[in-house]
Amino acid sequence: MPELPEVETVRRGLEDSLVGQRISRVIARRKDLRFPIPNDIGTLTKNKMVISVDRKAKFLMIKLIDDTVILSHLGMSGRWTIISEDFESTPGRFAHGGVIGTGDGPHDWVIIQLENGTEAVYSDPRRFGFIDVIESGGLTAHPMLKKLGPDPLPDSLTPDMLNESLIGRTAPLKTSLLNQEIVAGLGNIYVCEALSRSRLSPRRRSGSIASERGPTARLHRLVSAIHDVISEAIDAGGSTLSDYRGVQGDHALGYFPLSFQVYGREGEPCLNEACKGTVVRYVQSGRSTYSCPTCQR
């Protein structure tokens, strides 16, 4: 499943190819993905210039000149492929694998054709993603967006905000951090990593690191770790972006270079400084948790 850093990489790739270009037409090859695709998607977008490609949590927003927005979510297996005369690329592909859209593949559902001949193809074998068309004024009220908390980045999530959300909360810390109303788009992998770096137990009661008097030292540590983990992952994805232009296919892209400290490392030594513990795995709310019980308290 694409996580926030990969979605940000996809956003940058789409921004590069779409912004400033006029859409000649949008073709939808089926009526629905996870939700119906508007049947007037073609007329709502025809001959309109793309002015920006934005992101909120894991939602992508392709904004057109008259306040029309193509809202997209990659779900479990969605991807965008850019096809032009000079190159073909699938931004984010290096991070989450899977099929490449060609425009006529079996899972290529939506094709945005630009006047300059470039195509952006949305493919989604499992069809848990979605594509919607709305007015930009309706974004904050959109049912999928209205309850989202801040993005896990320094310009969005602050210690005060997280403190406010965690005061009195009895759920395990990891469960709260996966709650989209508290932090939006911070996935399972990155929650495990941030908790390891801040040496906090995923099972700790959420409210125990918050205080009416303001953020505790532990909470400050956690917020810094969240910012660092996500920023590093975005940088790791973003750093390969400059290489993708001109690449035939995208086999030349390296694998996501971020190395995980605990995620996927069950039974291996803890990498936190001066810790001699071993990483364990257990299941919380149906998701795998990786942590070191020796240093994460």
2 flagged as catalytic: yes
Element (H, E) at 110: strand 108-114
Closer to Zn ion by CB, 68 or 272: give it.
272
Closest approach of Zn ion to the CB of residue 296, in Å: 6
Subset of 193-222 contacting Zn ion (CB under 5 A): none
120 or 270: CB nearest Zn ion: 270
Question: 53 vs 60, 63, 95, 242, 292, CA distance in Å?
Answer: 7, 6, 20, 18, 39
Identify which of 158, 226, 235, 238 has the alpha carbon closest to the alpha carbon of residue 189.
226
The Cβ of residue 138 has, within 10 Å, a number of other Cβ atoms equal to 13
Build a one-symbol-per-residue string for 251-290: x at contacts with Zn ion by CB under 5 A, - elsewhere: -------------------x-x--x-x-------------
Give yes or no for residue 294 binding Zn ion (CB under 5 A).
yes
Shortest distance (Å) from residue 210 CB to Zn ion: 24
> Is 146 considered catalytic here?
no
The least CB distance from residue 295 to Zn ion, in Å, is 3
**Active-site pick, 22, 34, 287, 293:** 287
Catalytic residue among 2, 150, 172, 215: 2
Residue among 136 and 294 whose Cβ is closer to Zn ion:
294
Closer by beta carbon to Zn ion, 121 or else 270: 270
Between residue 142 and residue 161, which ones bind Zn ion under the rule CB under 5 A? none
Selected catalytic residue, list 11, 48, 55, 58: 58
Residues in the interface with Zn ion (CB under 5 A) total: 7
* Cβ at position 146, least distance to Zn ion in Å: 39
Q: DSSP label at 208?
A: G
The residue among 42 and 277 lying less far from Zn ion, judged by its C-beta, is: 277
Of 57, 112, 173, 292, the residue at the interface with Zn ion (CB under 5 A) is 292
CA proximity to 9, closest of 291, 197, 250: 250
**Is 287 among the residues known to form the active site?**
yes
In angstroms, give the least distance from the CB of 275 to Zn ion.
3
CB of 150 closer than 8 Å to CB of 160: no
Interface residue with Zn ion among 99, 145, 171, 295 (CB under 5 A) is 295
Rank residues 69 and 292 by Cβ distance to Zn ion and give the closer one.
Answer: 292
Max CA pair span of the chain: 62
Of 233, 231, 226, 227, nearest to 173 by C-alpha is 226
- Minimum CB separation from Zn ion for residue 270, in Å? 3
- Residue 58 among the catalytic residues: yes
| Residues in touch with Zn ion (CB under 5 A) | 270, 272, 275, 277, 292, 294-295
Active site members: 2-3, 58, 287
